[in-house]
Structure 1
Amino acid sequence: MKITRFELFQVPPRWLFLKIETDEGYVGWGEPVIEGKAHTVKAAVEELMSQLIGKNPLHIEDHWNMMYRSGFYRGGPILMSAIAGIDQALWDIKGHFHNASIHELMGGACRSKIKTYSWIGGDRPQDLVDEAKKVMDLGFTAVKMNATEELQIVDSFKKVDEVVERIGLLRDTFKYDLDIGLDFHGRVHKPMAKVLIKELEQFNLLFIEEPVLAENLEALKDITKNSSTPIATGERMFSRWDFKQVLQEGFVDIIQPDLSHAGGITETKKIASMAEAYDVALAPHCPLGPIALASCLQVDATCYNAFIQEQSLGIHYNREGQDLLDYLKNPQVFHYEAGFITIPDGPGLGIEMNEAYIREMAQQGHDWKNPIWRHKDGSIAEW
């Protein structure tokens, strides 16, 4: 069997889909994208795929090593996202070839479903309560939200009090029927992170995500050591080598690699196994599309330390006709119930892409970009 051709589809709201075809009729889908850099990742996929045409798609480990190791410059968000989408598509082909789910090919599932959460937002406390009620009515028992808007490296306690007020109202309203994850989003620097985390410990959060930027690992170590709240990071880490120091030195309690950014199924499975050896939990990052989510769930099924899965249904980036389930022929495959999502068990990724709709929406395309924030003094703020 040989790879014969590939196509890329840039579809709204901010996704990039990859289709790989073979001479025996097997097809695989992947989702190689960095949010806000879809054009750049697309070019990287085209460069890498030129070396795979005519190759056997089943030799996934060899192809991964060729794409990663044959480049003198390696790693980083663009190259690893390109590799990730190709890797997902190759695993999808392999699953269809063997008529088995990817998790069966990786040793079999250790779970049939996994806890999931919904993103909520709102500038005022009551907005958050209303949003939480909506997603709880849909069956979710956990939510994640951003902690703050822009923060200076040292900022006012007024902003700290606003965060405490929002989280406090959620906890008072829902008690422990609702688990709350809080995303600092890399917006918070070490001086304010220490203050915020201390004030928030009273609410017994599920986790705090990216309390500081991933490049400030030395600060992350101190934060984790002095916090009773589980600390999570990893969406801006792209390989097992990026995670090595984090795990060795005990920087975090939860890792969050993204299967469309961190080298795909092949690499993320290895990262997860490394984390298990350090008694660190796995919660894959995934505010993306259906291919990325299906890839995450295949890995979750095989990892003992996986405990919760991010997903994008209804997230504020998505629009009607451009949401998580809209590009699938079998949207029921992502079955949500009592706070859990089922692991797809069909061949490959277990999803059926609606190619006609994908082609239609690719004509519309997108040019999604991260917003640019500034502080009141005119300086650039972390988004």
Structure 2
Amino acid sequence: DIVGKKLSVPVYELLGGKHRHTVPVFATTAGPYGPDMIEQAKEFMGRGINAFRLSYDNMDIQSGGLFEPRESIANSAEWLIKTREALGNQAILGVDYHHRLSPAETASFCQMMPTHTLDFLEEPIRDESPEAYEALRKLTEVPFAIGEEFASKWQFLPYIERGITQYARVDICNVGGFTESMKVAGWAEAHYIDLMPHNPLGPICTAASVHLAAAVPNFAWLEVNMERAEDTDRSVFTEQVEFNGSGYVVNDRPGLGVDVDESKLTEPFAFWEAPHPHRADGSHTNW
């Protein structure tokens, strides 16, 4: 950002130039499974967004409450089938189970649905064991999206080299900035794997992710939080990357294209405690 502003060029020029003028996104539906979720997805499609990550059956997980995997996957499969029927084959549908399933539960979940119900399944099991994921890869044809928690290219290595993941969920803030992200992107490109960046934070993370997306050829969709993307408040971040309703515009402002009014940064950061979901028998499960 500093070098780009000093040279009066956008960051993507420092990375080799841009491949696209708009960055496509995938949106996440809000709330539990049901008719309202399908209607929200239809609304997104009407605005030009055709890639969705659907709300999994969360079983009150946001409040740190009960989560029973087998009950969840049964209800999820039922509504995912209904959603595919309602939206047709043009929609790109995925779901994120956020490491909460076992390989056996994941296999059962995928087997509950007809072929092409899902276009991607994100992080169904924990990622510490590539061998477990490799075994799971043989049990389902659903493409995987993995990598949002990886902190280096070395963590991506087995998932790319062994063909375990079909989308690289690189998080530019976790993996080591632009330098490491570009290495992961090049490695993934050599194996025909597209990036699908994790983008859960704020305007700076989003802007950096947009520049990364502009600079690499192998790119699918950027995660978007629709509520934040459409927030018109510019009191703190006076210049931000522009969201046009269906994607992020790649602009030519110097650096990341983000300006911060530092005089507004007066309140200390409020740390967030992740929920602690549990099963009916009292044991804890993954967040």
Partner of 2:282: 378
Cα–Cα, structure 1 residues 220 and 210, in superposed 2: closer, same or farther, change >3 Å? same
Pick closer, same or farther for the CA change 1:225–1:303 going to 2, 3 Å. farther
Partner of 2:185: 272
**How do 1:1-383 and structure 2 match up within 5 A?**
92-149=1-58, 156=70, 158-314=71-227, 327-331=236-240, 333-337=241-245, 339-357=246-264, 359=265, 362-363=266-267, 365-383=269-287
What displacement does 1:155 show? 5.2
CA RMSD of aligned residues (A): 2.7
- C-alpha distance 326-373 of structure 1, shift in aligned 2 (>3 A): farther
The residue identity in structure 1 corresponding to 2:164 is F
Conservation of the 8 A alpha-carbon contact between 1:190 and 1:212: yes
1:143 partner SS: strand
Which SS does the other structure have where 2:58 is aligned?
coil
The alpha-carbon distance between structure 1 residues 194 and 154, as it changes in their structure 2 partners (threshold 3 A), is farther
- 1:98–1:349 distance in 2 versus 1, CA, 3 Å: same
Distance apart, 1:102 and its partner CA: 0.8
State the alpha-carbon separation in 2 of the partners of residues 170 and 325 from structure 1. 36
Which entry has the higher C-alpha Rg, 1 or 2? Answer: 1
Q: For residues 281 and 185 of structure 2, what CA distance do their matches in structure 1 show?
A: 42
Return the offset for 1:113. 1.4
The separation in 1 between residues aligned to 2:132 and 2:108, in whole angstroms, is: 13
The Cα of 1:340 is off from its aligned counterpart by 2.8
**One-letter amino acid of the counterpart of residue 110, structure 1:** H
CA distance in 1 between partners of 2:234 and 2:97 (Å): 28
Change (3 A) 1:326 1:149: farther
Deviation at 1:207, TM superposition (A): 1.0
The secondary structure found in structure 1 opposite 2:74 is: helix
Q: CA deviation at 1:115?
A: 1.3
Distance 1:226-1:191 versus aligned 2 partners, 3 A rule: closer
Residue identity in the other structure for 1:376:
A
Q: 1:325, 1:220 → 2: CA distance? A: 43
Which moved further from structure 2: 256-265 or 344-353? 344-353
Shift of 1:326: 6.4
Distance of 1:155 and 1:191 partners within structure 2: 11
Q: Deviations over 1:94-140 (max 9, x none)?
A: 10011101111111111111210111132231231233244345442
CA contact (8 A) 1:335 1:342 kept: yes
Relative distance call for 1:287 and 1:138 in structure 2 (3 A) is: farther
Q: Cα distance 1:216–1:100, how it changes in 2: closer, same or farther (>3 A)? A: same
Structure-2 separation of matches of 1:262 and 1:201: 35
Which residue of the partner structure matches residue 49 of structure 1? none
Contact kept in structure 2, 1:112 and 1:343, CA below 8 Å: yes
Structure 2 letter corresponding to 1:217:
P
Amino acid in structure 1 at the alignment position of 2:244:
Y
- Aligned-pair CA distance for 1:153: 11
Give the unaligned 5+ runs of structure 2: none
Amino acid corresponding to residue 276 of structure 1 in structure 2: E
User: How high is the sequence identity, in percent, across the aligned residues?
Assistant: 26
Which secondary structure does the structure 1 equivalent of 2:83 belong to? Answer: helix
- Residues of 2 paired with 1:311 and 1:326: CA distance? 21
